[in-house]
């Protein structure tokens, strides 16, 4: 057959070439996520992050170094406790239910339940009382706290400088000959900044997948928006304010007052996010409740008159939130749709020390 | 043809050389003449020189207006945002930079009693001219805190005075012992810090206190800064101006912004320029 270049052929070849180019482009594009695994990306439906990335941009080496530190018990005074002892990935980096109050070195009991760690790049104040004003400073408190790791930060940095591996890794990640405090803190932050949880079924739903939630969960979402949204505001599920929702029977923990030094803040605590709430039991700063139904019963019946009780949950001598049993079930069903399996199973956070 | 070529060559040479000279001109020392100044800090307790004793010492060298004896085991302060002003509108603003890299830290200084190399603040790149006033911030402001972890004298792991539970630096630190204090080991700790204000509104009281203090000190004489003249103002700080009237039986354990406020009001008065060396 005689090969005859028709007009059609003349169009087909460039078109084919174009397809090939696009395909090659796609192939390299589908490589992208692997390259950017270690880059911070703001979920499209989230607000702008507040972390100072201009001073500490996340990269693979810094992230891995932060991870190594996070899982390393030799950082604590007696070598028994690492960050990961109290912040466990399968519990969205909260403590396990075995430890209602976190246990530090020598099993000294803490006074507050360890919170989960995620979406930290969007927060401006840390810890239940918000006393820590930058994510970089959070590890200092954890390390130096007598009931956590009970080690001076100064001593820890000294230990790292005398370690067989850390000096080399810090040089690779930050180009420094000597390990100093800020680089240790930057490494911790890089690891924690990538703990972004924004891929629950709820997220798929708000991003347009109508089938991501079932009917009961959608009704739960609507009830949630009516009763809970004013404090647990979407998409972070916290408005980042400090409030007293009445979980202390008698006030022993001053909460925010210890930081602001005004009685108007007594017994107020940071409104926690409710993402991954299914896996972070027990609940509240004082670990008062094991189950979500108990939490809802607290809001509808348990709250009593108390100093600084928030008027959104208690007014005119009684709890403001009224829910029937089926409504409670719906809210709980909705709360469980906030579990982000991709986050709590994400292998980039797995312990890779030895 | 040849003619054109050589004309081209000449003009290229001319072009480059003019570029070269204009670059040179930028470095002409006459147009941006600069100099330096060494600001010297000397700490006193009343009219006694300040001496640091070992922790646990019962040698009480000093006493306040209430007759309460005390000694000092740690004393110092942060200084930042230094500015110089002159009689003819001269202004020098010391460059500020907070960074993880200790070498990139600019404009933060710390005077630590007992470490004599910290007593002199070396100001550089001052435009040549006359100066008769120094203004500085006593403490570390928000711009040294909210950038996150920083190095050098601001690195907690290198001994920076930093509150871990209520983030912020201790601007001015006093530690020692006083028989008037009934705490363990007669301890005396006055840590003055705080860097933000949330003012009162409606029924809400003020939250937090910005305990940074602007200290503004006229020199005893106008000094001249130039390439060859490096003047040195000598500042004296008197601790008794701060705790001279304090009842050390009560005020011996200060660790928060609100509690520090009564001391802060007296801090600016504690500094004075004693004399200047031209």
For the cut 80, the answer to whether the pLDDT of residue A147 exceeds it is: no
- Indicate yes or no: CB of A134 within 8 angstroms of CB of B148: yes
Per-residue 3-state assignment (H helix, E strand, C coil) for A112-168: CCCCCCCCHHHCCCECCCCCECCHHHHHHHHHHCCCCCCCCHHHHHHHHHCCCCHHH
Q: Do A133 and B159 touch (CB under 8 A)?
A: no
- Cα–Cα distance for residue pair A348/A38, rounded to 1 Å: 9
The arithmetic mean of pLDDT across residues A286-300, rounded, is 97
Contacts with A264 from chain B: Cβ below 8 Å: 204-205
CB-closest option in B158, B166, B256 to A181: B158
In this prediction, residue A97 carries a pLDDT of 59
Mean pLDDT, range A100-104, rounded to an integer:
49
- The beta-carbon neighbor of A137 closest among B99, B167, B208 is B167
Please indicate, yes or no, whether residues A95 and A143 belong to a single structural domain of this protein: yes
Distance (Å, whole) CA A63 – CA A189: 8
| Any domain includes A40 | no
How many structural domains is chain B composed of? 1
Distance CA A339, CA A341 (A): 6
Domain membership of residue A191 as a residue range: 53-197
CB B178 within 8 Å of CB B70: yes
Whether B23 is covered by a domain: the verdict is no
Same domain, A186 and A210: no
Per DSSP bridges, beta strands B34-45 and B232-238 are: parallel
Residue A354 placed within a domain: no
Q: Which of A181, A197, A213 is the last residue of a domain?
A: A197
Neighbours of A62 (CB within 10 A): 25
Residue A286: pLDDT over 80: yes
| B22, part of any domain | no
Q: What is the CATH number of the domain that holds A62?
A: 1.10.760.10
Confidence (pLDDT) at A108 = 43
Specify if B180 maps to a domain: yes
Judge: A55–B147 Cβ closer than 8 Å, yes or no.
Answer: yes
Whether A268 and A157 map to the same domain: the answer is no
Give the domain range for residue B188: 32-277
The full DSSP string for A231-278 is: TS-TTTT----EEB-S--SS----BTHHHH--GGGTTBEEPPP-TTGG
DSSP state of B96: -
User: Which region among A49-63, A115-129, B7-21, B85-99 has the lowest average model confidence (pLDDT)?
Assistant: B7-21
- pTM value is 0.89
Per-residue DSSP letter, A300 = I
Mean per-residue pLDDT for B55-68? 97
Number of domains in chain A: 2
Local confidence band at B6 (pLDDT 50, 70, 90 cut-offs): low
Tell whether B9 is covered by a domain.
no
| Residue in A51, A131, A182 closest to B155 by CB | A182
- Look at A10 and B122; give whichever has higher pLDDT: B122
Q: Tell whether A317 is covered by a domain.
A: yes
- A124 falls within a domain: yes
Looking at residue B31, its pLDDT comes to 56
Query: Does a structural domain hold residue B1?
Result: no
A225 and A167 belong to one structural domain? no
Asked whether residue A71 falls in the same domain as residue A146, the answer is yes
Of B198, B190, B197, nearest to B267 by C-alpha is: B190
> Distance (Å) from the C-alpha of residue B82 to the closest C-alpha of chain A?
24
A235 and A294 co-located in one domain: yes
Evaluated on CA atoms A270, A275, A277, A279, the torsion sign reads negative
Q: For testing the chain A interface, which of B99, B103, B143, B149 should be mutated: the one with the most A CBs within 10 Å?
A: B149
Is A10 among the domain residues? no
Same domain, A206 and A315: yes
8 Å CB contact between A116 and A93: yes
Together in a domain, A189 and A284: no
A32 assigned to some structural domain: no
Domain endpoint, select from A197, A215, A236: A197
> Does the residue A137 lie in any domain?
yes
């Amino acid at each position: 057959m005689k090969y005859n270049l028709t007009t059609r052929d003349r169009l087909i070849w460039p078109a084919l070439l174009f397809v090939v180019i696009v395909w090659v482009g796609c192939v390299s594009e589908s490589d992208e996520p692997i390259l950017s695994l270690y880059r911070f990306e703001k979920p499209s439906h989230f607000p702008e992050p507040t972390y100072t990335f201009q001073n500490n941009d996340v990269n693979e080496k810094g992230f891995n170094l932060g991870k190594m530190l996070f899982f390393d018990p030799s950082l604590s005074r007696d070598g028994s406790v690492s960050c990961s002892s109290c912040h466990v990935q399968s519990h969205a980096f909260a403590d396990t239910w075995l430890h209602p109050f976190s246990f530090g070195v020598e099993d000294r009991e803490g006074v507050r339940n360890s919170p989960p760690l995620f979406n930290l790049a969007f927060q401006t104040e840390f810890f239940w009382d918000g006393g820590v004003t930058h994510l970089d400073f959070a590890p200092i408190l954890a390390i130096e706290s007598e009931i956590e790791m009970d080690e001076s930060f100064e001593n820890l940095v000294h230990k790292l400088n005398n370690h067989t591996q850390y000096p080399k890794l810090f040089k690779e990640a930050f180009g420094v000959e000597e390990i100093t405090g800020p680089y240790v803190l930057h490494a911790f932050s890089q690891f924690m900044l990538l703990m972004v949880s924004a891929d629950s079924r709820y997220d798929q739903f708000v991003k347009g997948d109508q089938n991501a939630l079932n009917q009961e969960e959608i009704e739960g979402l609507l009830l949630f928006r009516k009763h809970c949204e004013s404090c647990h505001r979407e998409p972070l599920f916290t408005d980042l304010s400090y409030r007293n929702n009445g979980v202390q029977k008698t006030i022993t923990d001053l909460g925010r007052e210890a930081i602001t030094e005004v009685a108007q803040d007594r017994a107020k605590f940071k409104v926690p996010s409710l993402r991954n709430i299914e896996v972070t039991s027990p609940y509240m700063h004082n670990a008062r409740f094991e189950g979500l139904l108990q939490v809802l019963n607290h809001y509808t019946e348990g709250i009593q008159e108390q100093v600084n009780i928030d008027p959104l949950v208690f007014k005119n001598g009684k709890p403001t939130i009224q829910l029937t049993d089926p409504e409670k079930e719906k809210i709980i069903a909705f709360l469980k749709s906030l579990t982000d399996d991709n986050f709590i199973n994400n292998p980039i956070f797995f312990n890779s020390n030895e | 043809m040849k003619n054109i070529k050589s004309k081209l060559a000449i003009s290229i040479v001319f072009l480059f050389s003019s570029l070269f000279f204009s670059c040179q001109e930028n470095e002409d020392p006459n147009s941006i003449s600069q100099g330096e100044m060494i600001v010297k800090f000397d700490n006193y307790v009343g009219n006694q020189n300040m001496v640091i004793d070992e922790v646990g010492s019962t040698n009480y060298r000093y006493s306040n207006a209430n007759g309460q004896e005390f000694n000092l085991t740690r004393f110092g302060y942060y200084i930042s945002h230094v500015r110089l002003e002159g009689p003819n509108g001269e202004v020098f603003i010391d460059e500020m930079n907070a960074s993880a890299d200790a070498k990139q830290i600019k404009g933060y200084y710390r005077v630590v009693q007992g470490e004599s190399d910290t007593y002199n603040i070396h100001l550089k790149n001052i435009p040549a001219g006359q100066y008769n006033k120094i203004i500085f911030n006593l403490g570390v402001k928000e711009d040294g805190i909210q950038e996150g972890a920083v190095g050098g004298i601001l690195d907690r792991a290198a001994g920076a005075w930093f509150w871990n539970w209520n983030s912020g630096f201790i601007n001015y630190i006093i530690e020692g012992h006083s028989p008037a204090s009934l705490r363990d080991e007669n301890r005396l700790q006055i840590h003055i810090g705080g860097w933000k204000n949330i003012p009162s509104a409606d029924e809400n009281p003020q939250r937090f206190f910005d305990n940074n203090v602007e200290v503004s000190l006229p020199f005893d004489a106008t000094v001249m800064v130039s390439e060859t003249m490096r003047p040195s103002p000598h500042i004296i700080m008197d601790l008794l101006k701060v705790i001279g009237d304090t009842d050390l039986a009560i005020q011996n354990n200060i660790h928060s912004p609100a509690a520090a406020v009564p001391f802060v009001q007296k801090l600016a008065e504690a500094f004075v320029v004693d004399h200047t060396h031209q």
